[in-house]
Chains A and B, each alone.
Chain A
């Protein structure tokens, strides 16, 4: 699983990628255990708050308001950051962002950076870009470290190594740590304390040596130019304060207008994500100060498809996401398919609506993501900013099968339907034709009834996949409408005469 995600020509469509995961019993066991545990805890943490519904609504409103006036708040943010001694850079896409960060690191003359977990830098594949420029990036979040040492890919937005169990982690540490720095202690066990200690010793060396830190941010406060990271381990805080230069790469949608707005999200985010009343570490940083922290602060504001997404009336709500991962943890599809099958740094329900918007629906994987859901609605129910994920999924399905107008790179373009849906489209048209003609439907039913003894219990063609693992019901001798007509609405049947 060390294949690349971004751009990924040839990454298989979701159904094939998921097939492997479904049959990997270790992976399914790991995921099942982890998601069920957090699911139950989250429900409890949310139930404790009597005004949860109001908080959810407030979060939704704040985000919608900010997105509607995004240009205004971004300018405001730039002013505040600059006034506080920071420098703001604008990046239209992944390449530009990587170029900016690589350039900034080069200017410091360093060839190593420490990183605090960041979805934005994963999205643009910054580590790979830095590596190509001869700069090593070290992940310092425990789970990210596991992923990095395992030459693996994150599979969850909050717990990137959710697909690994403790035994697997012990093996990775013992095998790999030496290649990256301080080796794992002799006789490392798979106890949480043992693993945490090994990571602590390994990382401490990195923190003390590093001159450059790279981070993302959960929020950016426009009024003061403050960035906010919430985390559980405190490693992020070390990354933010110890280096001399701090570079933060943040998606433009992460902005909130004022400190007051943070109050809402600092309640909903921890409860939705880790089921905690408050997250253990909340770090905020504003520009630079002489006495403490980094001497230079750079903020790289990342667009990478976000403005295009904002142009879509239905799909834009995906930008409200605060990356709490609650939707992943309740999703029955994510639980079986695992995060890697989504072919994106954003897996699960949010990934299924965000990735095809940020990247477009041209690739096989992106065209299959809107279908990676049974539309059960559990994701919408838990989302702390009320993103109607099922609605956006159906909206994107229409884009896949029917094409339509979208904004790409700031321009309106008309998409053609994705390939491979011709047979389905024909079937849907035929069904619509029959269903608007009751007589035709009836003929079909009669034919099915009359030939019922000939029907196999498995289906040919596209139906085979379904009937491969399930039996079809037998076709009844008489459809309901024939019974209704024959018995005059059941009035001829004993006991039902009204």
Chain B
């Protein structure tokens, strides 16, 4: 099987390790990975801040780049949700505004083929044990879009539970938003920081060494709060844990 990796602009620029981890993991599972170099950004920040017209060319660009792949895999719940949930809405909206079916027709092919990493592993490849080894105590934060827009459910936890050496501890208030919310963190910094601090305190109370999530944007916010609050915890993307083996542990 040959899939396209949609790494998202944040991962590409700030978290290349996550991308390498996805490549390593999928390759180990026998999947051929391609990274279309023309990819950029799904348009989520534009869309959610109210600049929906600015988001449309980005969505069209995304569809152009990824149209011909069998499957598109992304290690970001929120960007995955953007494609799966909001691209169809963009199309409907253009139609409602009398702009015809063109946008909907352009975007439609990529929508059902886009998978968040854990969905791809569990639903498409049918694996929960990916042969990983990660000897640490981990607590899992299900990010809002993964949880509510994509409905990832137990998939990430099942994958983590199958990792050798890993001890999974429950995060109190797990389903509460960490307070990132894209431009929300810029527009409402005080509330956002208060939400982040509560999330970090809850994580700390578990005694885990690592807080794991499947979205680097949330991890950036949580991790930035962790170092500021001087906790000893580390934020780690789920893909990096799943890619880790005894021979090649995650950094």
Contact = CB atoms under 8 A, between A and B. Distances in A.
Interface of A: 14-15, 18-19, 22-23, 28, 313, 332-333, 336-337, 368, 370-378, 380-381, 391, 394, 396-402, 424-425, 428-429, 431-432, 434-438, 441, 445, 448, 462-463, 465-473, 475-476, 478-481, 483-485, 489-490, 493, 495-498
Given A333-B188, A432-B51, A480-B19, 18 more contacts: A374-B177, A375-B181, A375-B182, A376-B144, A394-B47, A400-B50, A428-B51, A431-B41, A435-B40, A435-B58, A435-B61, A462-B186, A466-B185, A473-B14, A479-B12, A480-B7, A484-B35, A498-B27
A359 B42 CA distance: 33
Interface in B171-205: 175-177, 179-197
A228 B243 CA distance: 59
B181 A398 contact: no
A460 to B, nearest CB: 13
Contacts of A398: 50-52
Interface of B: 7, 9, 11-17, 19-20, 23-24, 27-28, 30-35, 37-41, 43, 45-55, 57-58, 61, 89, 96, 144-145, 147-149, 175-177, 179-197, 220-221, 223-225, 227-228, 247-248
B191 A22 contact: yes
B53 A402 contact: yes
B45 to A, nearest CB: 7
B195 A332 contact: yes
Contacts of B228: 469-471
A184 B179 CA distance: 43
Given A373-B184, A471-B228, A22 B194 contact: yes
Q: Which of B31, B89, B180, B189 has the most CB of A within 10 A?
A: B189
B34 A15 contact: no
B37 A484 contact: yes
B27 A490 contact: yes
A373 B221 contact: no
Nearest to A333: B191
A337 B191 contact: yes
28 contacts: A15-B191, A28-B194, A372-B191, A373-B181, A373-B184, A374-B192, A374-B195, A378-B148, A399-B50, A402-B51, A425-B51, A428-B45, A428-B51, A428-B54, A429-B54, A432-B57, A448-B13, A465-B186, A465-B190, A466-B192, A469-B225, A470-B193, A470-B228, A480-B11, A481-B12, A493-B20, A496-B23, A496-B27
Nearest to A437: B40
Contact of A371 (B9, B188, B196): B188
A436 B57 contact: yes
A332 B176 contact: yes
Contacts of A373: 181, 184
B37 A481 contact: yes
Contact of B179 (A372, A374, A478, A479): A374
Contact of B16 (A396, A463, A479, A498): A479
Nearest to B65: A438
A375 B184 contact: yes
Q: Which of A14, A377, A399 has the most CB of B within 10 A?
A: A377
A374 B224 CA distance: 17
Contacts of A370: 50
B33 A15 contact: no
Contacts of B50: 370, 394, 396-402
Contacts of A438: 37-40
Contacts of A399: 50
A468 to B, nearest CB: 7
Q: Which of B17, B38, B179, B186 has the most CB of A within 10 A?
A: B186
A489 B193 CA distance: 38
A311 B14 CA distance: 44
B47 A465 contact: no
A438 B33 CA distance: 20
A489 B148 contact: no
Contact of A473 (B46, B61, B223, B247): B223
A419 B223 CA distance: 34
Contacts of B27: 490, 496-498
Contacts of A400: 50
A472 B224 contact: yes
B20 A498 contact: no
B54 A15 contact: no
A374 B180 contact: yes
Contact of B24 (A368, A428, A495): A495
B98 to A, nearest CB: 13
A372 B191 CA distance: 9
Contacts of A471: 223-224, 227-228
Contacts of B149: 377
A186 to B, nearest CB: 41
B195 A478 contact: no
Given A381-B148, A402-B53, A431 B195 contact: no
Q: Which of B23, B34, B38, B182 has the most CB of A within 10 A?
A: B23
B35 A371 contact: no
Nearest to A497: B27
B16 A15 contact: no
A490 B24 contact: yes
Contact of B184 (A371, A434, A479, A483): A371
Given A374-B192, A445-B12, A436 B23 contact: no
B194 A490 contact: no
Contacts of B191: 15, 18, 22, 333, 336-337, 372
Closest 8 CB pairs of A and B: A374-B181, A397-B50, A470-B224, A465-B189, A376-B177, A480-B16, A469-B193, A377-B148
A473 B185 CA distance: 15
A31 to B, nearest CB: 11
A28 B193 CA distance: 14
B190 A22 contact: yes
A177 to B, nearest CB: 35
A493 B39 CA distance: 22
Contacts of A434: 40
A428 B56 CA distance: 12
Contact of A432 (B30, B38, B54): B54
